[in-house]
A and B are shown apart, each in its own frame.
Chain A
Amino acid sequence: MSNQPIVISASPHVHSDRTSKKLMYDVVIALIPAFLVSIYVFGIGALIVTSVAVASCLLFEYLIQKYLLKTEITIGDGSALITGILLAFNLPSGLPIWMIIVGSLVAIGIAKLSFGGLGFNIFNPALVGRVFLLVSFPVQMTMWPTAVENNTTISDAVTGATPLGIIKEGLMFGDTMTVISSKIPSTIDLFLGITGGSIGEMSAIALIIGGLYLIIRKVISWHIPVTLLLTMGVMTGIFWLINPEQNASPLIHILSGGALLGAFFMATDLVTSPMTRKGMVIFAIGVGVITVVIRMFGAYPEGISFAILIMNAFVPLINSSFKPRRFGSKIKSKIV
């Protein structure tokens, strides 16, 4: 027998090879296609925003844990990395660097660590950072650089509106969809990502590839993305069928804006989404409905960030109201 004493522990004595770290890095891998597209479209600006966001998120996590909370430092677990990437993906590529840093501080410091760190945050940290920036600096946050011809220049000179912004503005001025649709990129362009918007949200195809990767790797289940997109599709579809001249088609709604990024990466955030299948469906329906309501009737052209944050607040309630079906509860229990 070896020198080390025998280990005693309670069953089970084996463990699957899933670890939190692996889950986190799988999410990072899934985000790579969208990141590559963003570099292709926005050039070096996307790279700068993303690396600043990631670096500052990691740094803030390290500093706060080391000097303020004096707890174990967990920057290696990948969660701050994801927060950084997702925050960057929700920002326009020309944003001043100090704003990105402020956003990261809010995301990591306020939304995550002040709640108790990984696993205890109620709201998605990246979205809190994004929404904080959006309401604090609305002008800079809606300066969308359009796709550049030459990928190497920083393209803060060329700005345009997002497709959803164009639609919103157009409808406000009384234009019909026929007129507006000539101004927005074609569906194919939306699908491939040749459009304006936040860094990570343009390319539908890249996001779908990443999302499918996560579903295949069983990091997320299909319930949230599918229900969310279905809800949005059905709701916008109804409006579109009633009056196609005043409402954008469901396809445009799903392919433009943050719908896909939100559906695959933000709403499915493990920590802030419900823990039961039933709950996930309810949660996703809620996000879908609120998103469409904000897009159609709200002041902002895009509402998925708000929708996810609002539904995040309902997650504890959803968790306690939608329990999994207990085995044997179908039949009335007979006491033996």
Chain B
Amino acid sequence: MTQPLLDTSPLVSDEIRKTTCYMCACRCGINVHLKDGKVAYIEGNRDHPVNKGVLCAKGSAGIMQINAPSRLRAPLKRVGPRGSGTFEEISWDEALELATSWLKPLRETAPEKLAFFTGRDQSQSFTGWWAQQFGTPNFAAHGGFCSVNMAAAGIYTMGGAFWEFGQPDWEHTKLFILFGVAEDHDSNPIKMGIGRLKARGARIVGVNPIRSGYNAVADDWLGITPGTDGLLILSLVHELLRTGRIDLDYLSRYTNAPVLLNGDPKSSEYGLFLRDDVGKPLVIDRVTGKLTAFDQHGVRPDLAASHRHAGITHRPVMHLLAERYLDPQYAPEAVAKRTGIPAPKIRALANEIAHTAFDDPVILRREWTDFRGETHQTMVGRPVAFHAMRGISAHSNGFQTARALHILQILLGAVETPGGMRFKPPYPKPATAHPKPHCKMTPGAPLDGPHLGYVQGPDDLCLKADGSAARIDKAFTWENPMSAHGLMHMVISNAHAGDPYRIDTLFLYMANMSWNSSMNTGGVMQMLTDTDDNGDYVIPRIIYSDAYSSEMVAYADLILPDTTYLERHDCISLLDRPISEADGAGDAIRWPVIEPDRDVRGFQSVLLDLGARLGLPGMLAADGSPKYADYADYIVSHERKPGVGPLVGWRTGDRGLTHGRGLPNAAQLDEYIAHGGFFVAHVPEDAAYFKPWNRAYQDWAVGMGFYDKPEPYLFQLYVEPLRRFQLAAEGHGSCQPPDHLRERIKTTLDPLPIWYAALEDGHADPEAFPVHALTQRPMAMYHSWGSQNAWLRQIHGVNPLYVPTKLWEQHGFAEGDWAQVTSAHGVITVPVAHMAALNENTVWTWNAIGKRKGAWALDDKAPEAEKGFLLNHLIHELLPPRGDGLRWSNSDPVTGQAAWFDLRVNIEKVPAPDRSQPAFAAVDSPVGKGPDTLAWKVGK
């Protein structure tokens, strides 16, 4: 037979433009293929350090953002009541003048009356700088409702955490254990890593109540009870200590296990480190038996010896650690019931971890020299790697749980060693090398420093003279002293309550606070529209910037429409959340690979324009004209300190182009574009491991501008700043917590990890609400910031409540049934589906599939709006009242992280309603509705 002639070499595109994806937060490199200036196809960039050519479903679906009907088209001014979605289009000049007229008086009189919170912002070093120049203490991004527990626990413990801070050593690890990963963090690198491990037969263990995604391919699954991961981890620690399977050499050299603690119960420094005259922690040298600073040449810190002086015994951290975790309360049998993991399985996992770490080490023949000056001929590693994300951190015990996981890693010697976890430059960076939070305001002048940071003790809290919170979100207060990312989830609630004070203007970017980004969604809508006795809005003004017609748009008074990610400049900066991998420091840009076809502007450029109109320092040239033409100009010319700017590649050196430190280069963006949109500086081979203690790494990092001088440090098994807060709660020092918080601080701010039941359990009755309820994101859909993508919504357009077999049978559910789900806070009625591979007391659903009618240019009958739902209605930003008259935030008591996953519910079968409940009235769409058909072929 004859076959038709085929052209098997059609032209793929006229041009490829390389930029950075923004369909989620992972910052992969993409090749955007263009035909006649239109986007024909998007694929992964093979040269890019993050994704090395691969691309996830979201990334490939980016092409459907360009034609998304939900794209905002022009600045909007509210004309109807707030919440109705009724707007008129206005010019940019009018919009910016309006914003200026609102903000200028605030800056001159009371800068704190502007609360500026930026959601899933990838330009926080810029937006934070803008807020600092404005002078308000009220700035943060979304970390507080995302994963600050993970970040803060990691930074305080070891100068880095997972995802953006570190990664498994995919090349060498033999056992990979995942805890509570939301499936998008971090999207492609984890999948690529799992693929590499699978290809060489390495083992993967998943610890997660839900066996989907990565857990579905894990060789072993521990379907743990939500909120008990810390208990499981400490039981593993118990087993490793009990059997002596810990890395003593590593612990003595690189951690504070040998550091001596003040053992005098009467001392105001009880439990703090013994230090020398210059403040260096003291250890006993095993060689000489003498007390010495930890970092001296030739010292071999002793893990076993105590120091006795003046009748007091000062013991090393190692003693306290062993004493605590050898306690029978952490034995596998003791934790089996609570965790839902049988004791033999816990012991079998401990055994496998120990066997892999110590009987099968990775030894690289690479010479390196440590900070004490000792040269090692090899790099010995423990090939057990862990990864964890929101699943363990979004609990009110998440900080201590994440800490516990790091303790486990460190006891194994499996951090910054071959086969374990590796940091990504500019990490490692200990808490002491980060800024402290700043909140000192002067009307008409900048804030006294960066908003967010790492407190070292009570003196660093953001409190006013009267002890009340300086920040609207009450970050860095006694309620949550180490809230390193702020508490975005408390801003609207606190502003509405006037607690700690009232604000004037709420300015939000990329944060869907009237929908999936808030707890208590219905309550938040109420707060945003509530009026006072005069009929004025309680939150007087709301400015919002988004690229799409999200649910939040209807609640703003002024909309500043952003571009899509293919139409804008961005920098993914080493000052912020870069694209580094363990073997290289990297940063990247976005640039307009297509021009907007609407009257929209990149938010950061708008912010610079607004800053110039407000006369903010640093945004005006000497002649009073705007200093920066736009964000691209800022990216290239701004210097944070001499020689250090947003991008490290292709700066100007003494003899031509240079990388790292250097003067601005006007053609820098052209260089980035010519080099694929990113820059990578490779870590030298002898600097690749043991980075916190490795002289070669420290010197390289100074050259790159990450530190001003080498800063070797010890891993903090025992976190001294936590002890300082405990001491205050015990009555020491002048900065004292309110009495109602003393006991909680003493308990939860323990300098060695502890486990305690979720705080909601103390407020909501576990008997009345016996079921745990969780959400996770589908890998193919990321919250809502990418509009309702025409292709992705065909994959994930519905989100039933998944119910495990035991509950399914107990309630007599059948396919198509609906359930009423009740929490201490609210009620929802939703469709159910059966899932067997699920913890038997846990229900869950996909996050943020549910949409409000009228939003996202979707049809009113869209399944997302008819059957979709949010668990958010069941979760309050405050814990249920318990009669003490106090507002208890539903957050981690250490960091303030939103405790989304503490939720407990009761479910019962009910007749199917017309649509999911609660049902909200439709909002007017400022963008109309989408087309009836799509056939998106741009070429001939």
Asked if A and B are interacting partners, one says no
